[in-house]
């Protein structure tokens, strides 16, 4: 029996997944991801893709909020920048997806860094309000965007959603599953490794104690902006994927509610954790879907009750979130860790 975590080499100390149960689990997850789309119907593929896009955005926000400690409620706005940049490039210049999406990510990163500038002088709630301004400014520009040639909604020509000759616009859900999951996997690999690098550790130092970080030589301005840019890069990716996946975009998809939803995902999933962001995105997408299925089933059983079900559904969503936060304020990732800890010593846990 294992009585603790002991590393006997630097490489094992630095390893992301040093133990066999971890490796087994990740293999299991990959196998499930590979097998899932062949058995799932369109409804479940749609949910999986929604989760994938939300997870990319949540991981991006986690870089900023969870790892660097800079609160942002502008993620929806940054997603809109990505979606519209990619959409406009596709609709007006006819650029294919593999060109427009990376450009959109870079543009969003620049916009994110720009709106991150107040973070040099502002902290905590004050910064949150500054990012709220970013959100509102971006949406205002989009709704009054006749200058930019943006109508109320933007429809993307399907031929721009081709990836190296393979049309993704045909049987959308299945094809996009692979693209979205591919992007998600790359995001996970990049962000997991980011926090083993100098830049990532500097960000964590800023979160833990910014004055101390400055004293040990971390350039606060530079790394805060870097955190904003990296975070927005992934928001842009999520937005651009949404644009191509849905084929049509309107700003209604990227309102303040979206920003708060993404923030809620990382709080419920677990701040400062890549897997937490994925759990949070999964939870916040599946719970309403589950509740609406339960309510559909219930309306068949209690027809007289059915007019109240939509309200109960909304209430139950709120209640579930509150209960989660009461029982485990550190998020789903902590719960999972508790479960693992419990079974590691089972049946001799104390």
Picking from 300, 333, 297, 294, the residue whose alpha carbon sits closest to that of residue 313 is 294
* DSSP 8-state class, residue 250: E
Which is closer to another protein, CB of 128 or CB of 287?
287
Output the CA–CA distances (angstroms, integers) from residue 152 to 37, 135, 242, in the order listed: 34, 18, 17
Interatomic CA distance for residues 120 and 93, integer angstroms: 37
Instruction: Decide: is 38 part of the binding site for another protein (CB under 8 A).
Output: no
Single residue of 33, 289, 316, 325 touching another protein by CB under 8 A: 289
Q: Which range binds another protein by CB under 8 A, 17-25, 59-67, 98-106, 331-339? A: 331-339
User: Site residues for another protein, window 124-183 (CB under 8 A)?
Assistant: 143, 152-153, 155, 158, 172-173
Which is closer to another protein, CB of 159 or CB of 208?
159
- Are the C-beta atoms of residues 236 and 263 closer than 8 Å to each other? no
Which is closer to another protein, CB of 191 or CB of 332?
332
Interatomic CA distance for residues 134 and 38, integer angstroms: 41
Instruction: Decide: is 305 part of the binding site for another protein (CB under 8 A).
Output: no
- H/E stretch holding 178 reads helix 172-194
Q: How many CB atoms are closer than 10 A to CB 21?
A: 11
- H/E stretch holding 111 reads helix 97-116
Single residue of 22, 248, 319, 322 touching another protein by CB under 8 A: 248
User: Site residues for another protein, window 179-238 (CB under 8 A)?
Assistant: none
Q: Which range binds another protein by CB under 8 A, 68-76, 85-93, 198-206, 295-303? A: 295-303
Nearest distance in Å: CB 185, another protein = 23
- Are the C-beta atoms of residues 105 and 82 closer than 8 Å to each other? yes
Which is closer to another protein, CB of 143 or CB of 193?
143
Instruction: Decide: is 350 part of the binding site for another protein (CB under 8 A).
Output: yes
Q: How far from chain centre, in Å, is Cα 230?
A: 13
Q: Which range binds another protein by CB under 8 A, 20-28, 42-50, 77-85, 219-227? A: 42-50
Which is closer to another protein, CB of 128 or CB of 290?
290
Single residue of 218, 231, 246, 284 touching another protein by CB under 8 A: 246
Instruction: Decide: is 247 part of the binding site for another protein (CB under 8 A).
Output: yes
Single residue of 15, 37, 44, 201 touching another protein by CB under 8 A: 44
Tell me phi and psi for residue 308, to 5 degrees: -90, -15
Interatomic CA distance for residues 226 and 64, integer angstroms: 9
Single residue of 128, 292, 298, 325 touching another protein by CB under 8 A: 292
Nearest distance in Å: CB 245, another protein = 10
- Are the C-beta atoms of residues 121 and 128 closer than 8 Å to each other? no
Single residue of 133, 288, 321, 325 touching another protein by CB under 8 A: 288
Q: How many CB atoms are closer than 10 A to CB 284?
A: 22
Instruction: Decide: is 294 part of the binding site for another protein (CB under 8 A).
Output: yes
What tokens appear for 291 in the block? Answer: 């509740």
Single residue of 98, 221, 305, 342 touching another protein by CB under 8 A: 342
Interatomic CA distance for residues 282 and 56, integer angstroms: 11
Give 20-68 as a DSSP string: HHHHHHHHHHHHHHHHHHHH--HHHHHHHHHHHHHHHHHHHHHIIIIIT
Q: Tell me which residues touch another protein (CB under 8 A).
A: 41-44, 46-47, 50, 143, 152-153, 155, 158, 172-173, 246-248, 250, 252-253, 286-290, 292-297, 309-311, 313-314, 323-324, 327-328, 332, 335, 338-339, 341-342, 345, 349-350
């Amino acid at each position: 029996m294992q009585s603790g975590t002991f590393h006997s080499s630097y490489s094992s100390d630095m390893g992301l997944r040093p133990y066999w149960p971890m490796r087994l689990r990740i293999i299991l997850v990959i196998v499930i991801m590979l097998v899932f789309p062949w058995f799932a119907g369109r409804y479940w593929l749609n949910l999986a893709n929604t989760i994938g896009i939300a997870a990319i955005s949540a991981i991006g926000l986690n870089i900023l909020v969870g790892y660097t400690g800079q609160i942002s409620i502008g993620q929806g706005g940054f997603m809109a920048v990505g979606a519209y940049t990619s959409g406009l490039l596709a609709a007006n210049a006819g650029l294919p997806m593999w060109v427009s999406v990376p450009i959109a990510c870079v543009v969003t990163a620049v916009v994110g860094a720009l709106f991150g500038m107040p973070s040099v002088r502002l902290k905590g709630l004050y910064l949150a309000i500054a990012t709220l301004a970013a959100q509102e400014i971006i949406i205002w520009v989009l709704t009054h965007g006749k200058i930019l040639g943006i109508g109320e909604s933007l429809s993307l020509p399907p031929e721009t959603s081709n990836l190296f000759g393979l049309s993704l616009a045909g049987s959308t859900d299945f094809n996009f599953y692979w693209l979205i999951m591919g992007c998600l996997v790359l995001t996970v690999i990049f962000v997991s490794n980011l926090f083993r690098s100098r830049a990532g550790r500097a960000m964590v130092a800023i979160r833990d104690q910014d004055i101390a970080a400055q004293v040990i030589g971390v350039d606060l301005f530079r790394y805060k902006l870097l955190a904003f840019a990296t975070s927005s890069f992934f928001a842009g990716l999520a937005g651009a994927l949404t644009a191509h996946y849905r084929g049509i975009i309107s700003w209604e998809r990227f309102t303040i509610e979206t920003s708060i939803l993404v923030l809620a995902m990382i709080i419920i999933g677990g701040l400062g954790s890549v897997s937490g962001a994925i759990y949070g995105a999964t939870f916040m997408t599946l719970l309403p879907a589950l509740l609406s299925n339960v309510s559909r089933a219930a309306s068949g059983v209690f027809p007289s009750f059915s007019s109240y079900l939509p309200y109960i559904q909304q209430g139950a969503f709120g209640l579930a979130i509150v209960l989660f936060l009461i029982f485990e304020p550190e998020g789903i990732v902590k719960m999972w860790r508790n479960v693992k800890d419990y079974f590691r010593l089972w049946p001799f846990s104390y």
